[in-house]
Chain A
């Protein structure tokens, strides 16, 4: 989660999307609004259950914002720490698969050879009403 938030902040000028701090508070006091929290919770399916959690989030963003102190004008952003590595190209041969039985053992519920999932996406308010679907 940390790295994801850091990344969002850095990408703000490129993608045209605002960083969360600037969206929440242009003065930069680092407060995150309830609206932003709800949005994050929906996107990432995490639960910012308490004030402490939100405070921690704000501190994390403030910590990451220190990167803005670096002057990056005219510097090409690094896309990947692997940028000097060669992307390995695999030959188009069939070498794996055919292990449905093994894979299906991981599933809580199975119907014939299908994984079973709840219908569609469950909207968050309804999650309280049902038994939560075990997800990682």
Chain B
């Protein structure tokens, strides 16, 4: 019963803010500060006056939607949050269950140190204030997969509060531009997970497995709508969402459903709804018992959780029994937003490039290894890694770790390009060869296929001359003033040289010949 869970809550309060106006929808981040400040800020922006009639006509009022996400993430630990049973996937049912997990009378929760460290680390990574004292509570409800009849959670005073997370939204034409956004994290709390229920409708029974290590990231969305300047509307909770895409769909649907309902004079019930994937709509899960009353009470078996920092650490304390926030902060790796900033500053890449590099597992490391070994400019490396290399990976659905091209190979190829030994087109050819995994180095491929750039200007000039003689029509077009005809000539010469000549040089020679 005590598989450890971290719950990030942004419930009920303004956190992300979406404005729906005649069908168009864009999301704006909420500024930090209290709810009422934000609403006041909004009304000064809204151009339309608010009507005072009882029944607003459709589309005349602007609506604002408020969305909060509850994210359940399983902590990576060996044992559970409150018991010493193992945390493992795909174990036989009920094999990872201790007496406490089965809620046998007389058993007590014992807090796992690693889970507290994980919670503190998460709080620090999300810029939260870590509460030096946090409390555990019981949340009561009856369900067969919750044998104790309550879940131990941190409702009153959780371990971390008031954080934020920056992320990027792809926008603009071709969705290639990244707009940085910030979202508020209301709180982070430690809590138990419930068991797993398998519903057997045929035999009218439910099978219960109390192992609880599923390793999923689960998200519930809380959604309400209101008119700017007025109090927040009644919220609904949408559960059963397990992908970002469906999360977005469900939220969009629910916002529209609530607006339609209210504009038609209906009311929104504070209920739980589930998202129906096939129909693309939310449906009420409410049972006839009415609103859940969780009867929160302090967990009587657990004292407050006290955390320390370098200044408050008691002298001579057992290091096993104290948690030092500052010490944990030092173990944090470089956070993504810092890495992205560093990449932009150090290599002059665009923000969206930094996002792409970090979003693909192993890509940043690959990129940095190429940079280390090549003389080529960082911008060239960025372009080759993000366009060519990543393009090939995506086309064949490969992970970076499965790439047939090593960082050293790409570095060697870029060196050849940088030293003008080969042309850019030839480099692409070499890359394609490298991808075939035949074990040849770029240098070998270049010499085998004779892709070296033509050094001999004289020979090139002669080739241009013969091309011009062979295609008098094109030369005529050019002389008449058609600028695009030169590209045809360049193309012909390039083909004749088997891409071994630098197109810029060809163009220069041709232009010189034409003008003479």
Contacts and interface: CB of A to CB of B under 8 A. Distances in A.
A123 B289 contact: yes
Interface of A: 4, 7-8, 11, 15, 39, 42-43, 45, 79-100, 103-104, 106, 109, 111-121, 123-124
B198 A114 contact: yes
Contacts of A11: 296-297
B303 A116 contact: no
B143 interface: yes
Contacts of B210: 115
Interface stretch (B96-104, B159-167, B439-447, B506-514): B96-104
Given A39-B293, A89-B116, A123 B287 contact: yes
Interface in B397-418: none
A80 B303 contact: yes
Interface of B: 77-79, 83-86, 92-99, 101-102, 104, 110-116, 135, 140, 142-145, 156, 197-201, 204-210, 287-290, 293, 295-298, 300, 302-306, 320-321, 323
A96 B297 contact: no
Contacts of B94: 100, 103-104, 113-115
Nearest to A115: B208
B95 A116 contact: no
Given A82-B302, A123-B288, A88 B111 contact: yes
A87 B208 contact: no
B211 to A, nearest CB: 9
A121 B78 CA distance: 33
B84 A113 contact: no
Contacts of B93: 100, 112-114
A47 B78 CA distance: 42
Given A86-B321, A119-B199, A121-B143, A43 B293 contact: yes
29 contacts: A7-B297, A39-B293, A79-B298, A79-B304, A80-B302, A86-B303, A87-B111, A87-B305, A88-B111, A90-B79, A90-B112, A90-B113, A92-B112, A94-B86, A96-B83, A97-B83, A97-B101, A98-B95, A100-B95, A104-B94, A113-B95, A113-B209, A114-B209, A115-B144, A115-B208, A115-B210, A116-B205, A119-B199, A119-B200
Contacts of A95: 79, 84
Nearest to A113: B93
Nearest to B317: A86
Contacts of A104: 94
Nearest to B100: A96
Given A4-B295, A112-B93, A117-B206, A94 B85 contact: yes
A92 B206 contact: no
B78 A92 contact: yes
A124 B287 CA distance: 12
A32 B83 CA distance: 41
Contacts of B102: 103, 106
Contacts of A43: 140, 293, 295
A61 to B, nearest CB: 15
Contacts of B111: 87-90
Contacts of B207: 111, 114-117
A4 B144 contact: no
